[in-house]
Structure 1
Amino acid sequence: MSADLMNLGHLLRLARETVSNPREGAATILDLGLSVPALRIAFALVVVLSMLLGELVVLVTPPPPEGALSLSPVTLGLVQAAFLFVIAHAITLIGRWFGGTGGFEGALSLLIWMQFIFLCVQVLQLLAIMILPPLAGLITILALGLFFWLLVNFIATLHGFTSLGMIFVMTILSAFGIIFGLSLILTLLGIGFGTL
């Protein structure tokens, strides 16, 4: 299985299968039982790749209006890493409050996997921007729906939940926890919401 993780074709097939059947895809990722060092490498890799794709998008899109907030790639990477770290803890802690059984490593592995899926979405957006710009906006809207679709199902699989109502409440509470935690981290980084 470790060899499969180095095979891009296998990863893309698994990503497609995860979108169509998130719970099965999440179970596959959790069954890998990735070690902490492997999770650290994967975490750093998805953050760096996302930064690079983000920079490519900036290069092919019109410059932002004068006075708009512009963050360096390093700052964006730190914000994204902080976001993933906070959301993993929120999903773990809130899930356990509701009787879930998932752990932090499992939550982090699923979020890393979700980030890989959205790297694929970013590539599609980049191609759309270059070939058919109006399509990029539609992809963004679909990506937002995909995010919640994957998140709810990943939480359910991680914690062993079956009640849709429970999962919905957990997702809402997790969102509030994530926003609160991220706001603290952004403040520590010197980025106020008033400047956004």
Structure 2
Amino acid sequence: MTPQRLSDFFPLALQSLTKPRVGLRTILSIQSQRSDLINAGWLVIILNLILTASLTLFGPIPPESPSTVPLATSAIMQALSLFGGAFIIHRVGGFFGGTGNFDGSLKLIIWVNFILFLMQLPILLFSFLGQEIVALAMILVLVVAITQLTATIMELHDFTEVLPVLFGILGCSVVFGIALLFVLGLLGVNSPTNV
């Protein structure tokens, strides 16, 4: 079944937690224009910004704390991460013999971000219970993120080996993080000092 409405994506996201490759196959089968994918990417960014602002307001970290990132900086970081991540998944995967295209990479990164957004919604409720529970929930989200990325990149590029894909993700994440800090520095954005 191909999802038609936004509500159709919620059961698919739940299924993707246990069967990420099946969920991605369904997402990749959706016919869409690149402009639709870019709009979906911006929607996920906006949803994540709303979640970030809510966690800042209601979470255990005070909003005026030096470890919080300004909303404009967060928007730039998320846009660079989402669209830059799709570019890196496409290029690096293609360099190592992957068969995926850029639109598929964009669908993959949007889909994984949507799943992670849904997983982080309960953190808002946990934030009232204490910082330790929030930290445990964030560790769970990180584990799911790595699992989802590994499985979906393997599906997109038809890779069969798990460890090279996992090490590729970790290596690209480090390089991309350094590059992101450099770009943000060029834009004049100050990074938080007490992270």
What is the aligned residue count? Answer: 193
Gaps spanning 5+ residues in structure 1: where? none
CA distance in 1, matches of 2:156, 2:149: 10
SS for the counterpart of 2:137 is: helix
Q: In 1, are the aligned partners of 2:67 and 2:192 still within 8 Å (CA)?
A: no
- Which has the higher mean CA deviation after the structures are superposed, 66-75 or 82-91? 66-75
SS for the counterpart of 2:29 is: helix
**Alignment of structure 1 residues 1-196 onto 2, 5 Å:** 4-8=3-7, 10-64=8-62, 68-130=66-128, 132-133=129-130, 134-192=132-190, 195=193
Q: In 2, are the aligned partners of 1:82 and 1:185 still within 8 Å (CA)?
A: no
- Which has the higher mean CA deviation after the structures are superposed, 53-62 or 11-20? 53-62
Q: Identical aligned pairs, as a percentage? A: 32
CA distance in 1, matches of 2:64, 2:44: 30
Q: In 1, are the aligned partners of 2:127 and 2:134 still within 8 Å (CA)?
A: yes
Deviations along 1:16-56, one digit per CA (max 9) or x if unpaired, are 11110011111111111321111111011111111111111
Q: What's the offset of the Cα at 1:145?
A: 0.5
TM-score with structure 1 setting the length: 0.88
CA distance in 1, matches of 2:74, 2:167: 30
CA distance in 2, matches of 1:151, 1:90: 13
Q: In 2, are the aligned partners of 1:95 and 1:170 still within 8 Å (CA)?
A: no
SS for the counterpart of 2:127 is: helix
CA distance in 1, matches of 2:183, 2:52: 21
- Which has the higher mean CA deviation after the structures are superposed, 113-122 or 168-177? 168-177
Deviations along 1:116-154, one digit per CA (max 9) or x if unpaired, are 111112211001113x33432211111110010001011
Q: In 2, are the aligned partners of 1:107 and 1:158 still within 8 Å (CA)?
A: yes
- Across the aligned residues of Structure 1 and Structure 2, the Cα RMSD in angstroms comes to 2.2
CA distance in 2, matches of 1:75, 1:66: 15
Gaps spanning 5+ residues in structure 2: where? none
Moved over 6 A (4+): none
Query: AA paired with 1:37?
Result: S
Q: 1:184 to 1:147 in 2, by over 3 A?
A: same
SS for the counterpart of 1:173 is: helix
TM-score with structure 2 setting the length: 0.88
